[in-house]
């Protein structure tokens, strides 16, 4: 069950974001969420390859300065995006550049592939920068900034909270199974051992959801509409950098954002 262990390990990694490690970790989550929105907005609407490359360069410098772990996420980009981008080089009609057997690469195809890969890298880098330097619960709480209903945020948080809760149950159950298994497990017997674990987890989650609802109801959940909003703090100096970047990139882009991305 290497898969289960690997999943548990990655869940733990999400849980343990070190918020004191870099300067970026100390910027409040609301500000980082706003900066991410600006970056994603630019990523979608900029259509100049040069402007997009500059945006990517800015994020790379930010990652080099504050969170180098971001680059690990780049490994998946050629694998998944490449599968879509490479055929585009040959399939998009336009001015021919070179021939590869019976296929013809076009300038337009090459540009489309480059745009796709750069946009993916921008999105991956920006999102990873946020998630590597901000605890998930803070990211979820900061969604209030974009006026997401409080109930939606609470449901998101509950989902997040109980993922870890159930991950701990799985972990301790696996440990208990391991303590009673001698020798190497056969794949068929492994499934016989783990199937009840999945069943138990389902039953436990079903029982818990009712109790959690009771606990919420007993404390007035959804009975009144008067819940106070969280105080939102914005680090304007950090955000100003992104606004300045946006102005420069829009200028390079030719001023007009409202064109088709390609």
Partner 1 sequence: MTNVGYSYDDHVALKNVTMQIEKGEVVYLIGENGAGKSTLLMILAALYVPTTGTAKIFGKKLTEKLTKDVEIRKKIGVVFQDPDVQLFSPTVYDDVAFAPRHLGDDANAEKMAETAMRRMNIWHLRDRHPYELSEGEKKRASVATVLSYEPEFILFDEPTANMDVKGRHEFARLLHELKEEGKTMVIATHLLGDIKEATRVLVMQSGEVVYDGAPDVIENDSKLKSLGLL
Contact 38, 241 (CB under 8 A): no
DSSP state of 224: -
Angle between helices 29-45 and 49-66 (to 10 degrees): 160
Residues with Cβ within 8 Å of residue 45, at least 6 apart in sequence: 257, 258, 261
Nearer to partner 1, 30 or 62 (CB): 30
**90-120: string of b/e by CB count within 10 Å (b at 16+)?**
bebeeeeeeeeeeebbbebbbbbbbbbbbbb
**Beta-bridge mates of residue 96:** 106
Distance CA 136, CA 125 (A): 17
The distance of closest approach from Cβ of residue 240 to partner 1 in the complex, given in angstroms and rounded to an integer, is 27
The binding site for partner 1 (CB under 8 A) comprises 135, 137-138, 140-141, 154, 157-158, 161, 164-165, 208, 211-212, 214-224, 226-228
Structure tokens at 217: 């109801």
The pair of three-digit structure tokens given for residue 8, joined into one six-digit string: 């548990």
Nearest distance from residue 171's CB to partner 1, in Å?
13
d(CA 83, CA 78): 8
The nearest distance, CB 223 to partner 1, in angstroms, is 5
Instruction: Between 87 and 220, name the residue whose CB sits nearer to partner 1.
Output: 220
CB of 249 to partner 1, least distance (A): 34
* Cβ nearer to partner 1, comparing 220 with 254: 220
As measured in angstroms, the least distance from the Cβ of 101 to partner 1 is 57
């Amino acid at each position: 069950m290497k898969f289960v262990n690997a999943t548990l390990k990655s869940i733990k990694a999400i849980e343990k974001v070190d918020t004191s490690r870099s300067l970026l970790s100390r910027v409040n989550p609301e500000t980082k969420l706003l900066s991410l929105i600006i970056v994603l907005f630019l990523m979608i609407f900029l259509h100049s390859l040069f402007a997009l490359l500059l945006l990517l360069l800015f994020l790379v410098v930010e990652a080099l300065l504050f969170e180098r772990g971001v680059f690990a996420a780049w490994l998946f980009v050629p694998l998944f995006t490449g599968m879509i981008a490479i055929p585009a080089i040959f399939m998009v009609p336009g001015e021919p550049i070179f021939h590869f057997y019976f296929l013809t690469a076009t300038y337009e195809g090459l540009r489309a592939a480059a745009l796709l890969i750069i946009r993916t890298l921008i999105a991956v880098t920006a999102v990873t920068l946020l998630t590597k330097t901000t605890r998930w619960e803070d990211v979820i709480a900061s969604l209030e900034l974009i006026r997401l209903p409080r109930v939606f945020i609470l449901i998101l948080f509950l989902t997040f909270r109980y993922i870890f809760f159930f991950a701990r149950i799985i972990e301790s159950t696996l440990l208990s199974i391991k303590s009673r298994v001698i020798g190497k497990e056969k794949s068929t017997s492994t499934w016989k051992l783990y199937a009840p674990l999945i069943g138990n987890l389902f039953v436990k989650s079903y029982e818990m959801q009712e109790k959690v609802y009771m606990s919420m109801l007993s404390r007035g959940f959804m009975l009144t509409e008067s819940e106070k909003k969280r105080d939102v703090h914005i680090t304007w100096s950090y955000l100003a950098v992104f606004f300045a970047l946006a102005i420069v990139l829009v200028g390079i882009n030719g001023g007009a954002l409202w064109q088709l991305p390609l």
